[in-house]
Copies of this chain bind each other. A is one copy, B any other.
Amino acid sequence: MARKTGSSGEKTASDLQLAATKLFARHGYAAVSMRQIAAEVGVQAGALYLYTPDKQSLLFDLMHRHMQELLDAWQVESGNLPNDPKSQLVGFVRFHIRFHLKRVDEVFIAYMELRNLSEDNFASIANQRQAYENQLKAILKSGVESGKFNLADPKLATFSIIAMLTGINTWFRNEGRLASTSVEDIYLDMVLGIVCCKSRPQPD
């Protein structure tokens, strides 16, 4: 019935983001209740509505913020790279892996919870995903046009590369047998195999 001693709106808001990210990633949006999130934060469910209009907005805000951070971070990173397609691709692959391995829960939510978004929210996040995909597609197209990449379909190559890179999050463990830098090197090798190989053996 009363304000908690030491309570701070700023801290509760931050705790809410963290708790929601953790529980949505672990159990799924629909399987987690506002009461469970509140318990993780250390408040009652009613208190959450001071920080989010509703549950759907909570999910959307998490996803939107993550995707925006991804886009912004790549904008900065790509500006620091040489402009030729190969340097851009190498940079993109390393950036993607580093960024995603630092945000396991956010990445998981961004890819797994699209179905739980309302129509408008879905469209917004889909636009962000496409913006990110377009970054890689532009790199691949540029490489094909300059003759450095050998790709039958840059759009499909974009989907393939992002799928395989994002797939790292499903198995990578910090304490596993491979350092993340090794993972970067190995995946880079495979991606370059996809885009650059000019004398690959023909199927059939």
Contacts and interface: CB of A to CB of B under 8 A. Distances in A.
Interface stretch (A14-22, A36-44, A163-171): A163-171
Interface stretch (A45-53, A67-75, A193-201): A193-201
Interface string A66-87: 0000000000000000000010
B194 A194 contact: yes
A187 B156 contact: yes
Contact of A164 (B163, B170, B171, B196): B163
A62 interface: no
Contact of A163 (B26, B166, B196, B203): B166
Interface string A182-204: 01011111101111110111011
A115 interface: yes
B203 A194 contact: no
A31 interface: yes
A115 B193 contact: no
Interface string A86-126: 10001000000000000000000000100110000000000
B192 A203 contact: yes
Contacts of A112: 112
A152 B27 contact: no
Nearest to A191: B194
Interface in A128-176: 152-153, 156-157, 159-164, 166-168, 170-171
15 contacts: A27-B115, A28-B116, A90-B204, A112-B112, A152-B186, A156-B190, A157-B190, A159-B164, A159-B167, A159-B171, A161-B164, A163-B166, A164-B167, A196-B201, A197-B197
